[in-house]
């Protein structure tokens, strides 16, 4: 059974249609990259699936059910630029936020929650920075904190918006190790990804998106020159010719 099924999903910002008849489904234990040019609607797709932005039509089902019933099984890592890093809080606290849904109404996080958050930071190699104000972390460290926060949710399906953007090689490896571990455990991960060079190495599935699905499937079948050109239109050809 598919972990995620998307049917004819359409969405817009005011009158400007951003997603058009997007349909695909995702199998458990897969690691999928969502690839497309800037403004293709990748972030919007994640938001619409998670009901953070309204859809115009179509439907999305999680584990054969609705998002509402499956919320605890779905984790989300927003684009790093989407939060205020000057917020008065430290790394451990940010990770702890991943557990707020589970702490419950009118309750405060307990020691067990704190320990869980700390374990997760440690897993991302960030234990030494637990008490550091988040604006005093480097971009890569901030991304690790976001990943730690996702891990602590112990979800079965993860959506991550550009977790590899602006991180150095070491952080990139650390994050990929974690993603592969998640896959080994049978979890499903969808990652918005920008680096076309690494798609084949890192992901077993790819979803080429530009307002609608250009192609979707196993990376080695789908990630072809033709499909990529079609997704990026003229811009990529121009870029590639310029660099070679």
Partner 1 sequence: MSYTAWILLTASLVGLSCGLMGVFLILRRMAMMADAISHSVLIGIVSAYLITRELSGWHMMVGGIIAGLLTAVLVQWFNSRGVQQDASIGVVFTTLFAIGVIMIATQVGNAHLDVKHALMGEITFVPWDLIQLSWFGAIPEATLILIIVLIIVVIAILAFYKEWKITSFDPMLAASIGIPVALMHYLFMSLVSITTVAAFDAVGAIMVVAMLITPAAAAYLWTDRLSIMLILSGTFGVISAIGGYYIAVFLDTSISGSMAFATGIVFMISFLCSPKHGVLAQHFRTVKM
Ligand X SMILES: Nc1ncnc2c1ncn2[C@@H]1O[C@H](COP(=O)(O)OP(=O)(O)OP(=O)(O)O)[C@@H](O)[C@H]1O
Length of the chain: 244
Task: Return the number of the residue (13 or 238) whose C-beta is nearest ligand X.
Answer: 13
Compute how many other C-beta atoms are within 10 angstroms of the C-beta atom of residue 72. 12
Q: Which residue bears the tokens 């072809």?
A: 224
Question: What tokens were used for 83?
Answer: 């939060």
Element (H, E) at 77: strand 74-77
> d(Cα 152, Cα 48) in Å, to the nearest integer?
23
Task: Return the number of the residue (43 or 120) whose C-beta is nearest Mg ion.
Answer: 43
Write down the least CB distance from residue 88 to partner 1, Å. Answer: 5
| Closest to 13 (Cα-Cα) out of 64, 76, 46, 56 | 56
CB 74 within 8 A of CB 159: yes
Q: Which of 12, 28, 30, 50 binds partner 1 (CB under 8 A)?
A: 50
Write down the least CB distance from residue 5 to ligand X, Å. Answer: 21
> d(Cα 108, Cα 223) in Å, to the nearest integer?
47
Q: Which of 2, 30, 97, 199 binds partner 1 (CB under 8 A)?
A: 97
Order the strands of the 188-192 sheet from edge to edge.
Answer: 74-77, 157-161, 188-192, 31-35, 205-210, 212-218
Q: Which of 88, 201, 234, 244 binds partner 1 (CB under 8 A)?
A: 88
106 lies in the binding site for partner 1 (CB under 8 A): yes
Alpha-helical (H) ranges within 78-233 are 91-97, 100-103, 111-123, 139-152, 169-184, 199-202, 219-222, 225-232
List residues near ligand X by CB under 6 A. 13, 18, 36, 38-44
Beta bridge partners of 206: 33, 217
Task: Return the number of the residue (36 or 75) whose C-beta is nearest ligand X.
Answer: 36
With CB under 8 A as the contact rule, which of the stretches 66-74, 196-204, 208-216, 231-239 interacts with partner 1?
A: 66-74
Angle among Cα 139, 79, 92 to the nearest 5 degrees reads 60
Encoded one letter per residue, x for contact with partner 1 by CB under 8 A and - for no contact, window 130-149 reads ---x---------------x
Q: Which of 4, 31, 42, 47 binds partner 1 (CB under 8 A)?
A: 47
Task: Return the number of the residue (3 or 18) whose C-beta is nearest ligand X.
Answer: 18
Q: Which of 100, 180, 221, 237 binds partner 1 (CB under 8 A)?
A: 100
Residues 144-173 that bind partner 1 (CB under 8 A): 149, 153
Write down the least CB distance from residue 48 to ligand X, Å. Answer: 9
90 lies in the binding site for partner 1 (CB under 8 A): yes
Residues near partner 1 (CB under 8 A) are 14, 47, 50-52, 71-72, 74-76, 78, 82-84, 87-90, 94, 97-98, 100-101, 103, 106, 108-109, 133, 149, 153
């Amino acid at each position: 059974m598919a972990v995620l099924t998307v049917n004819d999903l359409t969405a817009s910002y005011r009158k400007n249609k951003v997603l058009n008849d997007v349909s695909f489904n995702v199998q458990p234990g897969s690691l999928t990259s969502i690839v497309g040019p800037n403004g293709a609607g990748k972030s919007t797709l994640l938001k619409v699936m998670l009901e953070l932005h309204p859809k115009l039509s179509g439907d999305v089902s999680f584990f054969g059910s609705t998002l509402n019933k499956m919320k605890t099984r779905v984790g989300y890592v927003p684009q790093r630029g989407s939060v205020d890093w000057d917020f008065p809080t430290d790394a451990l606290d940010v990770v702890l936020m991943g557990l707020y849904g589970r702490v419950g109404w009118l309750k405060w996080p307990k020691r067990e929650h704190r320990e869980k958050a700390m374990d997760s930071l440690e897993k991302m190699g960030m234990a030494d920075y637990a008490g550091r104000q988040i604006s005093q972390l480097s971009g890569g460290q901030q991304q690790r904190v976001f990943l730690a926060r996702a891990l602590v949710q112990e979800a079965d399906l993860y959506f991550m918006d550009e977790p590899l953007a602006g991180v150095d090689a070491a952080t990139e490896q650390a994050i990929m190790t974690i993603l592969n571990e998640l896959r080994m455990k049978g979890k499903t991960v969808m990652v918005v990804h920008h680096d076309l060079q690494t798609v084949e190495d890192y992901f077993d599935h790819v979803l080429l998106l530009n307002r609608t699905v250009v192609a979707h499937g196993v990376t080695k079948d789908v990630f072809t020159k033709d499909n990529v050109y079609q997704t990026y239109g003229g811009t990529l050809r121009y870029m590639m010719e310029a660099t070679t």
